[in-house]
């Protein structure tokens, strides 16, 4: 890769200012009204064009720091030229455009006008994820399963992430019909967040059309240029509400439950009183104990709140308790409805290791809650083994090093299963990725989950972005190395969008996908 190619790649990078212009649908002035640095002839041509435009431009609010924002301090920005000059010194902005703005106190920069009734147009649907302990790949898969469009922008924040759908047609807000368009947009935002919170921990209390983190070179993880079709989103929202209404009715009228009260069983009482359960024991660690107890609560049809209170005390009394984020993640997973019940072999393993042996698992079936045919129970074993492997990868690997490596025999021993079983689990799984390097006895198997690989892709992309801020000499060798690393991962993972998109995002030696110049 020569110097000319490096220069060409650097020019193809889309700036955060261009991304903000894309998000706001050209609803601000292109140049400052006063003090513009643009050539006079360009300003004259632009002003003549704008004078013929019947639609007034709007404003966005920005703030330098989170502390300033809390105190109500900030600035009113009316041009993209200003955003391009100042975004590096800003932390927050309003991606939805207001009709205008002013100040309660000009000297102290106490901003005024950022209230919902003053919105000019709603350009984006955004939401917060206030934790770093999250499966971002699950967010994209969730959008696929829910038939939502792919998110247009993913930002990393100090405490978590922010995600945005850029609407193809903004909601234009006016006072007619009691701000009907605003109420429709708010309802759409609520439905999207409610639907996606089953996949990632979205903050449902976040103000939908308020301040968000401003895009910068060092916080943009993913950018996608195809806007979300507004009409299709509204149709999706209507369908979602109808489905939720049917689910609610089923919950209300389904009172004849024949499920067993597992929380009253001897084995449950024995496990919940064991305070010395440790990590690191295959299929019998504190994570497995918590998951088993949580599944027992779910099978007994106890509410999530009841289970949370009881198991939070159990976790607190452990000699080595799980972190709050890991505790909540495990509990939510148990209550997701993905699991078929409490598994006998898990309970017996936990009792053998962590109890005095007096309690016994009652029942002859492999699964406590369900009686199934033999071939279905066999399939259930494969599902559980798959969960074991994915949980092991999450606990022992990282985005920087996402692969378990070794022979199949060694990996099978690590997971406590036969080699033939491991092969079958991998062949059946859509969530595990395997690649063999070499042949015969020298062959090395690389194993990871799609979720961990997606985290690895985002990590590599951020690493690649940072390289554009380094010197040109260092850039050439470093980018070549990262390109090879990313190519290896891309060859092994099917992303929840097209392979060409994946290449554009992660391989094409640029931190963001290009967009058309909207000026």
Q: Which string of DSSP letters, residue by residue, matches 201-251?
A: -B-TTS-TTS-EEPP-TTTEEEE--SPBPHHHHHHHHHHHHHHHHHHHHHH
pLDDT at res. 93: 97
The SS3 assignment for 2 reads coil
pLDDT at res. 424: 87
pLDDT at 376 over 90: no
SS3 of 484-500: HHHHHHHCCCCCCCCHH
pTM above 0.85, yes or no: no
366 or 299: which leads in pLDDT: 299
Q: How many CB atoms lie within 10 A of CB 51?
A: 7
CA atoms within 13 A on the CB side of 493: 30
Percent of the chain with pLDDT over 90: 30
Average pLDDT over residues 88-116: 94
pLDDT at res. 512: 34
> What span, in angstroms and rounded, lies between the C-alpha atoms of 87 and 153?
17
Confidence bin at 109 (pLDDT 50/70/90): very high
Average pLDDT over residues 282-293: 79
276 or 21: which leads in pLDDT: 21
Average pLDDT over residues 355-379: 52
488 or 166: which leads in pLDDT: 166
pLDDT at 45 over 60: yes
pLDDT at 40 over 70: yes
pLDDT at 283 over 60: no
Confidence bin at 73 (pLDDT 50/70/90): very high
Give the strands of the sheet with 220-223, arranged side by side.
Answer: 97-98, 119-129, 161-172, 153-156, 220-223
pLDDT at res. 421: 85
What confidence tens digit (pLDDT) does each residue in 476-487 have? 445 455 555 555
pLDDT at res. 322: 87
165 or 1: which leads in pLDDT: 165
233 or 458: which leads in pLDDT: 233
The SS3 assignment for 403 reads coil
For residue 121, the 8-state DSSP code is E
pLDDT at res. 205: 79
Confidence bin at 170 (pLDDT 50/70/90): very high
pLDDT at res. 369: 39
pLDDT at res. 372: 40
Confidence bin at 164 (pLDDT 50/70/90): very high
pLDDT at res. 13: 52
pLDDT at 127 over 90: yes
> What span, in angstroms and rounded, lies between the C-alpha atoms of 24 and 121?
9
pLDDT at 206 over 90: no
Confidence bin at 339 (pLDDT 50/70/90): confident
Average pLDDT over residues 215-225: 91
Average pLDDT over residues 51-78: 91
pLDDT at 41 over 70: yes
- DSSP H or E stretch at residue 448: strand 444-449
DSSP string, 152-214: SEEEE-SSSEEEEEEEEEEEE--STTTTHHHHHHHHHHHHHHHHHTTTS-B-TTS-TTS-EEP
201 or 14: which leads in pLDDT: 201
> What span, in angstroms and rounded, lies between the C-alpha atoms of 202 and 443?
42
What confidence tens digit (pLDDT) does each residue in 137-148 have? 888 888 888 999
pLDDT at res. 239: 92
> What span, in angstroms and rounded, lies between the C-alpha atoms of 124 and 211?
12
pLDDT at res. 253: 35
pLDDT at res. 9: 32
The SS3 assignment for 127 reads strand
Instruction: Look at 91-105, 125-139, 486-500 and tell me which has the smallest mean pLDDT.
Output: 486-500
Q: Which residue's entry shows tokens 């972190």?
A: 323
> What span, in angstroms and rounded, lies between the C-alpha atoms of 483 and 502?
13
pLDDT at 112 over 60: yes
Confidence bin at 88 (pLDDT 50/70/90): very high
Angle subtended at Cα 15 by Cα 12 and Cα 21, rounded to the nearest 5 degrees: 120
pLDDT at res. 235: 94
Q: What is the mean pLDDT of the chain?
A: 79
What confidence tens digit (pLDDT) does each residue in 420-477 have? 888 888 888 878 888 888 887 778 888 988 888 877 777 776 666 665 555 444 444 4
Confidence bin at 195 (pLDDT 50/70/90): very high
pLDDT at 504 over 90: no
């Amino acid at each position: 890769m020569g110097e000319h190619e490096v220069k060409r790649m650097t020019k193809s990078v889309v700036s955060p200012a261009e991304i903000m212009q894309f998000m706001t649908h050209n609803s601000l002035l292109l140049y400052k009204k006063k003090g513009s640095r643009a050539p006079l002839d360009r300003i004259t041509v632009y002003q003549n064009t704008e004078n013929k435009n019947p639609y007034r431009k709007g404003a966005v609010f920005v703030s330098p720091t989170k502390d300033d924002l809390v105190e109500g301090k900030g600035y009113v920005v009316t041009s993209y030229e200003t955003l391009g000059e100042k975004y590096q010194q800003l932390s927050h902005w309003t991606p939805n455009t207001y009709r205008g703005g002013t100040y309660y106190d000009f000297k102290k920069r106490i901003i005024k006008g950022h209230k919902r009734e003053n919105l000019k147009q709603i350009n984006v649907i955004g939401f917060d994820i206030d934790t770093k302990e999250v499966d971002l790949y699950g967010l994209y898969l969730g959008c696929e399963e829910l038939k939502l469009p792919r998110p247009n922008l993913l930002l990393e924040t100090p405490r978590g992430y922010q995600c945005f759908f850029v609407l193809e047609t903004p909601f234009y807000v006016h006072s007619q019909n009691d701000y009907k368009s605003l109420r429709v947009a708010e309802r759409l935002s609520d439905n999207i967040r409610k639907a996606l919170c089953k996949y990632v921990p979205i903050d449902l209390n976040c103000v939908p059309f308020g301040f968000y983190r401003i895009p910068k070179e060092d916080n943009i993880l993913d950018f996608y240029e195809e806007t979300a079709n507004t009409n299709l989103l509204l149709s999706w929202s209507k369908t979602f509400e109808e489905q939720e209404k049917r689910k609610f009715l089923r919950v209300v009228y389904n009172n004849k439950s024949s499920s067993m009260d597992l929380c009253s069983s001897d084995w449950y009482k024995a496990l919940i009183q064991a305070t010395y359960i440790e990590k690191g024991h295959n299929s019998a660690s504190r994570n497995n104990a918590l998951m088993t107890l949580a599944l027992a609560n779910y099978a007994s049809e106890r509410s999530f709140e009841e289970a949370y209170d009881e198991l939070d005390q159990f976790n607190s009394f452990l000699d080595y308790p799980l972190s709050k984020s890991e505790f909540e993640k495990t509990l939510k997973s148990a209550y997701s409805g993905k699991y078929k019940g409490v598994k006998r072999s898990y309970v017996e393993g936990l009792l053998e290791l962590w109890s005095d042996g007096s309690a016994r698992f009652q029942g002859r079936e492999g699964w406590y809650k369900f009686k199934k045919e033999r071939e279905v129970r066999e399939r259930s074993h494969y599902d559980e083994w798959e969960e074991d492997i994915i949980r092991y990868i999450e606990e022992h690997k990282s985005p920087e090093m996402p692969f378990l490596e070794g022979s199949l025999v060694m990996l099978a021993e690590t997971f406590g299963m036969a080699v033939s079983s491991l092969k079958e689990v991998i062949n059946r799984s859509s969530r595990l990725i395997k690649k063999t390097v070499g042949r015969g006895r020298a062959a090395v198997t690389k194993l990871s989950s799609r979720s961990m690989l997606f985290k690895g892709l985002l990590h590599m992309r951020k690493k690649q972005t940072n390289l554009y801020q380094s010197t040109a000499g260092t850039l050439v060798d470093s980018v070549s190395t990262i390109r090879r690393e990313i190519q290896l991962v891309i060859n092994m993972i099917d992303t929840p969008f097209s392979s060409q998109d994946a290449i554009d995002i992660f391989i094409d030696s640029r931190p963001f996908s290009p967009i058309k110049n909207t000026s």
